[in-house]
Structure 1
Amino acid sequence: MGMLMLCFLMFEIEKQDTIVDLDQLKWKNRIVLFFPKEKEFDYDFTDSLLVEIKDRKIVYIIFNEEIESNREVNISDKYLNELTSKYKMGSRKDCWILIGLDGGVKLKEESKPDWRLILQTVDTMPMRIRETRNNL
């Protein structure tokens, strides 16, 4: 019985709500939003990159024809327009944004996501330094 309860608790911990609003992620996850110029952008994540993303508590959302993410996402068209207006700000190029745990924009670039830069930037953030120090 104890093992069954442990498995259930682990499942509940891993279970995550569907994202309908970025405010749900504040203080829990860092966010990378990517607005590709071409709506049929295809990005291939390596297993090692996915591990690095998970380790840093990053949720990425790619606004293709269909929204792609490492989490379940159900964003309304109205909210998508708000996000595009707020973060893409009329850019006609590929555009990505890194948002910190506090909800503030940490980086914004007009290019395809530079994951090395994103991971390095996250690693210099005070809360990330504290996270890694606490995990030692």
Structure 2
Amino acid sequence: MSQNIASHQWENRILLILTDNSDTTTFQNQLKEFQTHENGLTDRKLIVYQIKEYIYTKGLKEGEWQHSSKLYKTYKSVNTSFEVILIGLDGGIKIRQSELLTCEKLFETIDVMPMRKAELKNKKN
């Protein structure tokens, strides 16, 4: 499943939402935050993965869960029950935090990246 993430390199930015329990307020609030700003996520080429210990799904809606623990084992920090990770177009981790990630902070972080600036410049032309 880590291959799935690697297949997005240079095409999409990735948001990983990792949780031990998808019923927690933090996890639910994170989904709502991203759902409220779906156009901004799409504009910035973001793909979201919801990841639990043994299953994951792609997207913000309740989707079809796939069985795998590779993403969780690869990206989850040991000392947190919730985590959000932004992976850039180059495959590098740009944000890793264990509290709610606002779209304001997310978009500010992405919008100053050289590749994002190039995307915006190309859109104008």
State TM-score, norm by structure 2. 0.76
Q: Secondary structure, in 3 states, of the residue corresponding to 1:135?
A: helix
Unaligned runs of 5+ in 2: none
Kindly provide the CA deviation profile for residues 12-57 of structure 1, in whole angstroms up to 9, marking residues without a partner as x.
Answer: xxxxxxxx711111110000101134222432212xx111000000
Aligned with 2:7: secondary structure? helix
Equivalent residue number for residue 21 of structure 2: 38
Contact 1:96–1:110, Cα closer than 8 Å, also in 2: yes
Moved over 3 A (4+): 70-76
- TM-aligned CA deviation for residue 66 of structure 1: 5.9
Tell me if the contact between 1:36 and 1:112 (Cα under 8 Å) persists in the aligned partners. no
TM-score (norm 1): 0.70
1:57 to 38, 41, 45: 45
> 1:10 matched to which residue of 2?
none
Contact 1:34-1:62 at 8 Å conserved across structures: yes
Aligned length: 113
Asked if 2 retains the 8 angstrom alpha-carbon contact of 1:98 and 1:108, the reply is: yes
CA contact (8 A) 2:56 2:67 kept: no
The one-letter code sitting in structure 2 at the alignment partner of 1:96 is V
* Equivalence for 2:59: 69
Q: Which has the higher strand share?
A: 2
SS of 1:83 mapped into structure 2: helix
* Residues 1:83 and 2:91 are matched in the alignment: no
Cα deviation, residue 104, structure 1: 0.6
Q: Residue deviations 1:84-132, cap 9 Å, x none? A: 2221121323201000001111110011232211111110110000000
Aligned-residue sequence identity (percent) comes to 27
State the SS of the aligned residue for 1:92. Answer: coil
Q: CA RMSD in A?
A: 2.6
